[in-house]
């Protein structure tokens, strides 16, 4: 093996180059950060897509995967005239199974690996997927036990193959993935010390003393190899899914959480880039103040970045992170974008987020560094919540589209920026996001007065309130709209993806086989055509 380099495992596609000469959101290529080529504004392209996390796909194995059902969903997108598949973060989830709380900002979630694909390659010869696993929801404890046992068997078979023709490909992945060994070692250590955060490991390992890391790498070699195998399979399978989407005219819209988990490889391997005390514990953590979702705010608990240390290193960690994401996605939503201008800092140990304060972020310096290294940035800014003129200025300086949520539009008068008549072209409109109730659940929970206000604005009776709101999104002047699949299926509130501030039952909803019908595709296609969002229109 050679030392890990900086070359990507596979070259990133030229997602900015389109037949019409426009970039991903339809405007002409940016010549400098934050400026559009004069005269090219009219090249904007109207697009639409569907939000569905891969874990919510149907199929065997108890959880959605990168198998045939992913391609079937892409076919549905194609048949319904959609050009965007938005997903949540694809990272290796930790406690609570939230895709926004992962063991690594770089590694993929092995639960998404298609076991049938491993069987076809011979790594799981004779495997039989359990048909008695739940289909409507993901039972994570059951799925984790089952799937990791299968992945363990697959890795053993792969490494036992004396004439394995794929071994060279695997070693190439290992040699060209800079973060891989640290991550695989971290996960092997998590197994060696179950339920123990990295800062409570033996001090020489927690502090990453070279001799201790070398010994751990030697003694945990088989487990490290298994984790590397899982990551290799994750990325090669996702690459195939993404290439299939490209052939079907569908772009993948990904998601980067601004913060990382404390008990993660990112913090363990880079403690100087975070606000930690001498014992390696966080001094302040992330959250948001009281808002629409919670009267006491949201105490996320993520460690906060030491932006001064980041700047001294030229924001190299963030550059690597965005570069890695561009290998996965065509466009990227950055969650909690306002945290780059200022973030809600809560002293470690607080029980809620109420007693926090706003502290400055890196501002434009970070995005200038990203632009210099990576060129045009196909980024959407999640600019929800407490947004100030400074946040808007940062977003607009780099021409990042913001987000408009229709469920937030009603109740505060005609100047509400989420009302359709206040939309701007450079934005992405949603009926709701993964953190919202379904549209049917949202409407049913409104007071009689609030319902009357919604119906009056939409000029409808409410008999088809979900599709009335979907139609309003399609009709928006905004370049891009994305509709959660639950809304297109008109599902009630119990099928929402996440309820912020709660610990159980989230991230588990799954689409049932047969729910994506030709009739539904036709209805979506007709609306897409009416409002000028069909590809190559």
Positions marked active-site? 335, 382, 435
Residue environment code for 227-250, b if the CB has 16+ CB neighbours within 10 A, otherwise e: bbbbbbbbbbbbeebbeebeebeb
What is each CA distance from 445 to 412, 437, 440, 486, 492, in whole angstroms? 17, 10, 9, 17, 11
70 touches 240 (CB < 8 A): no
Cα gap 532→530, rounded to integer Å: 6
Tokens standing for residue 160: 């036992």
Strand, coil or helix: 403: strand
Cα gap 474→314, rounded to integer Å: 41
252 touches 330 (CB < 8 A): yes
* DSSP H or E run through 452: helix 448-458
Strand, coil or helix: 222: helix
Long-range Cβ contacts of 65-71 (<8 Å, 24+ apart):
65/111, 65/112, 65/113, 65/114, 65/115, 66/112, 66/113, 66/114, 66/117, 66/234, 66/237, 66/238, 66/240, 66/241, 67/114, 67/115, 67/116, 67/117, 68/114, 68/116, 70/114, 70/241, 71/241, 71/244
Cα gap 103→193, rounded to integer Å: 15
Cα gap 432→442, rounded to integer Å: 9
Strand, coil or helix: 343: strand
Strand 427-430 relative to strand 47-51: parallel, antiparallel, unpaired? unpaired
Cα gap 304→98, rounded to integer Å: 19
- Phi (first) and psi of residue 287, to 5 degrees: -175, -170
**Crossing angle of helices 448-458/465-475, nearest 10°?**
50
Tokens standing for residue 400: 């990042």
Cα 139 from chain centre = 21
| Locus of tokens 């391609």 | 71
Q: What is the CA radius of gyration of the chain?
A: 23
Nearest residue to 26 (alpha-carbon basis) of 34, 16, 35: 16
């Amino acid at each position: 093996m050679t030392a890990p380099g900086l070359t990507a495992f596979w070259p990133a596609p030229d997602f900015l180059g389109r037949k019409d000469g426009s970039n991903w959101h339809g405007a002409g290529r940016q010549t400098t950060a934050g400026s559009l080529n004069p005269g090219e504004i009219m090249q904007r392209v109207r697009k639409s897509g569907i939000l569905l996390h891969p874990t919510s796909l149907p199929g065997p194995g108890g959880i959605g995967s990168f198998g045939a059902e992913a391609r079937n969903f892409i076919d549905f997108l194609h048949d319904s005239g959609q050009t965007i598949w938005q997903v949540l973060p694809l990272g290796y989830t930790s406690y609570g199974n939230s895709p926004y709380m992962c063991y690594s900002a770089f590694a993929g979630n092995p639960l998404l690996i298609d076991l049938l694909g491993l069987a076809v390659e011979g790594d799981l010869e004779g495997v039989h997927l359990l048909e008695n696993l739940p289909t409507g929801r993901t039972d994570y404890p059951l799925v984790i036990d089952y799937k990791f046992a299968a992945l363990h068997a697959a890795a053993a078979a792969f490494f036992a193959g004396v004439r394995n023709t794929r071994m060279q490909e695997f070693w190439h992945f290992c040699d060209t993935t800079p973060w891989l060994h640290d991550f695989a070692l971290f996960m092997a250590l998590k197994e060696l010390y179950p339920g123990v955060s990295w800062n409570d490991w033996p001090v020489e390992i927690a502090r990453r003393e070279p001799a201790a890391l070398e010994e751990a790498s030697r003694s945990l070699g088989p487990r490290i190899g298994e984790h590397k195998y899982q990551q290799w399979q994750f990325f090669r399978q996702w690459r195939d899914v993404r290439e299939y989407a490209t052939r079907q005219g569908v772009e993948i819209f990904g998601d980067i959480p601004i913060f990382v988990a404390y008990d993660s490889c990112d913090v363990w391997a880079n403690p100087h880039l975070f606000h930690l005390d001498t014992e390696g514990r966080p001094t302040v953590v992330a959250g948001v103040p009281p808002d629409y979702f919670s009267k006491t705010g949201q105490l996320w608990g993520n460690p906060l970045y030491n932006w001064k240390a980041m700047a001294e290193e030229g924001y190299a960690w963030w550059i690597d992170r965005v570069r890695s994401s561009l290998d996965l996605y065509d466009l990227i939503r950055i969650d909690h974008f306002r945290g780059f201008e200022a973030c809600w800092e809560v002293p470690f140990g607080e029980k809620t987020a109420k007693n926090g304060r706003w502290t400055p972020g890196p501002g434009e310096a970070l995005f200038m560094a990203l632009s210099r290294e990576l060129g045009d940035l196909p980024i959407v800014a999640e600019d929800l919540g407490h947004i100030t003129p400074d946040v808007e200025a940062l977003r607009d300086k780099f021409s990042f589209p913001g987000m408009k949520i229709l469920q937030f539009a009603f109740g505060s008068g005609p100047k509400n920026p989420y009302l359709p008549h206040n939309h701007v072209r450079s934005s992405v409109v949603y009926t709701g996001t993964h953190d919202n109730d379904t549209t049917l659940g949202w409407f049913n929970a409104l007071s009689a007065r609030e319902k009357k206000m919604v119906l009056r604005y939409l000029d409808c009776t409410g008999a088809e309130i979900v599709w009335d709101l979907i139609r309003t999104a399609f009709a928006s002047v905004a370049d891009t709209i994305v509709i959660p699949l639950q809304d297109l299926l008109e599902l009630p509130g119990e099928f929402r993806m996440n309820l912020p501030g709660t610990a159980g039952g989230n991230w588990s909803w799954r689409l049932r086989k047969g729910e994506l019908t030709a009739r539904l595709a036709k209805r979506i296609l007709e609306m897409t055509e009416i409002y000028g969002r069909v590809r190559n229109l």
